[in-house]
Amino acid sequence: MKICPMCEKGTLKKGKVEEEMFGVSLGKYDAEVCDECGESFFGEAEMKKMEAKAKELGVWGLAKSIKVVKSGNSLSVRIPAKIAKFLDLKEGENVFLYPDGKNKIVVEVT
């Protein structure tokens, strides 16, 4: 019986866990799941399957670190081509931009 390394209270049980990346389902994978806190742990083989599925679906490597630049009196953030393609975002389209707390900006394609 393995004790959960996160909460140190629960025990790990075998199960299937639905994984997603950037809101896209990657499918269900074998994992050990804590019966107390719900944290899940995947083996190397399952991680490789998830990575392959993420690459197949085009969501692998979408996260990027971008610099904020000055443009007139405003600040600008460019949207990398890979993210624009994933969102099917075209020049001239409108987006809705709003803060989500003090550390997050949400951009919704309208």
Mean pLDDT of the chain: 95
* Boundaries of every domain in the chain: 12-56, 69-109
Distance (Å, rounded) from C-alpha 35 to C-alpha 10? 5
Q: Alpha carbon 76 to chain centroid distance?
A: 23
Pairing of strands 105-109, 40-41: unpaired
Q: What is the pLDDT of residues 32-86, one digit of tens each?
A: 999 999 999 999 999 999 999 999 999 999 999 999 999 999 999 999 999 999 9
Which residue type sits at 96? F
pLDDT at 1 over 90: no
CB 107 within 8 A of CB 86: no
Residue 16 reports pLDDT greater than 90: yes
pLDDT of residue 36: 96
Give phi and psi for 88, each to the nearest 5. Answer: 55, 40
| CA end-to-end span of the chain | 50
